[in-house]
Structure 1
Amino acid sequence: MLLNYVKEGFSFFIKSVPIAFIIFMFITCLKWIIKRKLEFKPITMFCEFAWILNVYAILRITGIIGMDFRVTEVLNGHIHYSIKPFEDGLSAAMVLNLLLFAPFGFFTPIVFKKMQSKWLFNLIIAVLFSGSIEFLQIFSGRYAQIDDILMNTLGSLLGYALYVLSLKLKSQFKPQKSSIHNN
């Protein structure tokens, strides 16, 4: 079952590449129009594309993109939610939520440079993004759970921790300037 979810999620990512690329190109053109110059930094551009791809895939996988929003669900009191954390224990879906949001936490500080050393802002963005997804699911009759918000946020923090670790590893492997003194 877990393997089927992973295959399905990977399929969503693959199918999302063309649309994410179009969004990336649109944003890149907007930045060029605003700044009047285009900086070609392949690694930064790849990270921006990866972030857009991840966000788009998250919105597709969670059903936000393509969802049939019905206000009548809420007005008629058909709200399905759970605010009890881990009521059913740890499930495969929870682990997948963690894995789905790890790239979000990794790429967010790369894309938004002012957030690189501010883990609290990354936490807030993860909670707001995940909470928004769960809130919007209420309007489709889907089940909103605090577990999803917790695991998505934890996944994002895991991604941010991997980002910080990658910076430390990068700084360790930077060539040191030699200070040879000629006597």
Structure 2
Amino acid sequence: MNNITSALYEAVPFYIAVIPFTILNLYIIKKKRELLNVEYRITEKIFTLGFILSLMFILSITIGNNPPLKFQNVTWQNISVRPFEGVYMQYVLGVNGNIYSIINLFGNILIFAPWGFFLAAYYKENKNEKFKILLIAFLTSFSIETIQLFSGRSADITDIILNTIGVLLGRFVFCYLNIIFNEFFNNMHIRYPNNNNNKVKVFTVVQVISCLIFLVASQS
């Protein structure tokens, strides 16, 4: 439990950096909608905030307390390409009362579930929704594992699999709630239509640059 507390404490600078990043992106999204003359309901604002914070939550736990990235930190010994290697040992430790092993085992799934939920809300009107969510889940987890490798930590294919399962779990929850509250979700649109408005494109570029600066600054 002390390891978890320590990780959360060390990620405090990351949490602080998230605040201006989130405010900037919410402002940019608001301006893009205004330029496209797209209504922005309070429920859509809440889901947009949830979309951003669910990803920030993942990053804070996985890379928010990493040391600076260095190429010399990368070693083949830190790369595990055998699916579910070590999972049984974590299970055994968990059964014997090691709480950290239990949290680590199921945490890789649970921390990605909110991200999957909001991804499903974002892509709910897209015909390739399932494929895009699965692809984003894999790329997000793969990128995190790669960053961890450069920070001296291990990169494990099992984590990628469990993270992807977590995203799919979040999507399942959204789909289930969408059946129950279909009128609520069907009237909510997080995505806005594509447009050739040059001002919108400028805002998008600023948004991408802000994301890159945030990731680089958080790992330096």
Shift of 1:149: 0.6
| Mapping 1:13-32, distance limit 5 Å | 15=15, 18-19=19-20, 21-32=22-33
* TM-score normalized by the length of structure 1: 0.74
Q: 1:81 aligns with which of 76, 79, 82?
A: 79
Q: Which has the higher contact order (CA 8 A, sep 6+)?
A: 2
Equivalent residues of 1:105, 1:122 under 8 A apart:
yes
Extract unaligned runs of 5+ from structure 1. Answer: 174-183
Q: Secondary structure at the match of 1:39?
A: coil
Q: Secondary structure at the match of 2:69?
A: coil
The separation in 2 between residues aligned to 1:58 and 1:32, in whole angstroms, is 27
Q: What is the CA RMSD across the aligned residues, in angstroms?
A: 3.3
* TM-score normalized by the length of structure 2: 0.63
Partner of 1:119: 130
Matched, 1:68 2:104: no
The separation in 1 between residues aligned to 2:30 and 2:181, in whole angstroms, is 31
> How many positions carry a matched residue from both structures?
167
The separation in 2 between residues aligned to 1:27 and 1:113, in whole angstroms, is 22
The separation in 2 between residues aligned to 1:66 and 1:32, in whole angstroms, is 35
The separation in 2 between residues aligned to 1:26 and 1:150, in whole angstroms, is 34
Q: 1:132 aligns with which of 143, 150, 157?
A: 143
Partner of 1:153: 164
* CA spacing shift, 1:34–1:172, aligned 2, 3 Å: closer
The separation in 2 between residues aligned to 1:149 and 1:110, in whole angstroms, is 22
Q: Find the structure with the greater CA-based Rg.
A: 1
Q: Secondary structure at the match of 2:155?
A: strand
Shift of 1:38: 5.2
Partner of 1:58: 58
